Amino acid sequence: MINEETKAKALGRLRRIEGQVQGLQRMIDGKAYCVDILLQISAVQGALEQVEKLLLGRHIESCVADALRTGSKGERQQKIDELIDVFARFRGK
C-alpha cells in the first residue's frame, strides 16, 4: 500500500510532470525549436523515472518486506516474481 507521504510526493511530482507535458504541447503548437522540445521530453522522462523509483522503493519497503517477513512461501515467491518482472521491464527501456 502507498502511505500518505508517498502518495503526496508522487501526486506532487505527477502534477509537475503534467505541467511539463502541457508545456510540451504548447512548444509543439508554437513550433518551438526541435532540440528544445527534445530536451523537455528528456526532462519529463527523467521526472517519470523519479516517480518510478519512489513507488518501487515504497513497494519494496512495505509490500515485499511484509511478504518476506510474514507471508506464506507462495506469497513470498509471488513478490519475488513481481520484482523480477518489474526489473526486467526497467532494464528493457
Indicate if the pLDDT at residue 1 is higher than 80.
no
**Residue range 41-72, pLDDT digits in tens:** 999 999 999 999 999 999 888 888 888 888 78
What does the alpha-carbon distance between residue 12 and residue 9 come to, in Å, rounded to a whole number?
5
Angle at Cα 46 formed by Cα 43 and Cα 51, nearest 5°?
Answer: 130
Give residue 93's pLDDT: 59
Domain 4-91 is of which CATH architecture? Up-down Bundle (1.20)
Q: Could you tell me which residues come within 8 angstroms of residue 10 by beta carbon, excluding any fewer than 6 positions away?
A: 2, 51, 54, 55
- Percent of residues, the chain, with pLDDT higher than 90: 58
Give residue 32's pLDDT: 94
